Each structure stands twice: as C-alpha cells, then as structure tokens.
Amino acid sequence: MSRRFCYGVAFHGFHRKGVEADVYIGGGASRPLKIAIESALNDLDLPLKVKISTSHDSRKFQGFSADNITNRIAKSGIHLEQSAQARKYYREIAHAVAQAFDAHVRFWIWTFIEDLKTQRIKREAEFVQALSKNLASAPLNVEGAIGEYRTWKAIDDALAATIKTADELQSFDESKADAPHEPGKKRLNHVHPQRTG
C-alpha cells in the first residue's frame, strides 16, 4: 500500500498493567508532532498518564514498524494506545489530537511563508548587488541588466504568488475552523467533543 496521506492517526486500546501509562503516543511521525500531541493531552488536565513511546516500551505501544497501518497510509502516522481509563475521555482525546495536528499544520504553513519571504529579500539583495556591480563597470551593458532584471522579477513574482496562495490557504483553514457546522454536511479536520456525564 503506498502512502497517500501526509498525516494519519490510529486509535487503539489496551489493558493497562502496573506502572504503564494510560496513553502512549507512537507511530512514525516526527518527535515535534508527538510532543505537540502530548502537550495537548496533558493540557486537558485529565487523570491520565501520557507518554511518548520509545524503543524501551513494549512493541505494542511503539507503532514504529513500517507495517503499522498508520505508517503504511501516512507519511507522519500517529499510533495512539489508550487504556480503558483513557477511553472514557475519547471525545476530549480526539479533539486534543485534532487541535495538535491543526496547530502543527498551521505552524508548517507559517514556517513555509517565512522561508519564502526570506528568499525574496535575499534574492532582491543579490540582484541589487549584481546590478550595481554591472552598472559600475565599463562599458555599460544595458541589455544584460534588463535581462537580469527580468529574470529576478519573474522569480520574485513567482515567490510572491506562492506566499499569497499560502496566506490564503492559512486564512481558509482558520475560517473553516471558526465557521458554524451545517447539518448534513461533513466537517473536515475538526472534531467537536460533547462532554457527557
């Protein structure tokens, strides 16, 4: 099975024994994403012990194997093992995991935008420096300077368009998160828990 998704989560259950944690965060995803999920779960202030799985934990808690379902379908898979106590809070846990993913994606988009802005500034400075050097040398090569300007301008316009699209994507994601849910329509990427009892 080829990987078709960037992210995936598999929720599993286990019978907790002794000093085991209530929630184990495993899978092939990056450590920063696992830390974000751990933080989101701890912020719930539930009576649960949350732990990021390591190679020292039981294999059932790790989810590191390439054969693990979440690692087969997603590049950054999260394997979440939950005790019976943790499963009592399944809505809260699902919501916290969704928020951690959402924050992780927003951070990625923001980092991408900032990198593009840095590239634009760097390329403009390089162009100005090269143009100044060419204009200072004799004889003046106007056609060469125009060609360099056109090349720089095309790259700068492409970077600006990519930044604009990424900004729109981020704004779209934020507007969808805040929009009221219409009955009969599926909500994408967001889970809204309803506390019972």
Residue 50's domain is classified under what CATH number? Answer: 3.40.630.100
Question: Residue 82 forms beta bridges with which residues?
Answer: 13, 23
Q: Could you give the residue ranges of the DSSP H alpha helices within 23-141? A: 31-42, 59-62, 69-73, 84-87, 90-136
Residue 196 falls within a domain, yes or no?
A: no
Range of the domain at 162: 102-178
Identify whether 186 is part of a domain. no
Q: Are residues 143 and 108 in the same domain?
A: yes
Token digits of residue 5:
């998704």
| Predicted pLDDT at 183 | 47
**131 located within any domain:** yes
pLDDT of residue 153: 93
The domain boundary residue, chosen from 63, 88, 113: 88
Specify whether 49 is located in the same domain as 11: yes
User: How many domains is the chain partitioned into structurally?
Assistant: 2
Same domain, 24 and 48: yes
Q: State whether 48 and 108 are in the same domain.
A: no
CA distance 15 to 20: 10
Mean pLDDT by 10 residues, the chain (197 residues): 75 93 92 91 95 91 87 87 95 93 78 87 91 76 84 93 84 58 43 37
Q: Report helix angle 142-178 to 90-136, nearest 10.
A: 170
**Helix or strand run (H / E) with residue 12:** strand 5-13
Nearest-angstrom CA–CA distance, 186 and 110: 27
Q: Are residues 10 and 65 in the same domain?
A: yes
Q: Kindly state whether residues 107 and 48 are assigned to the same domain.
A: no
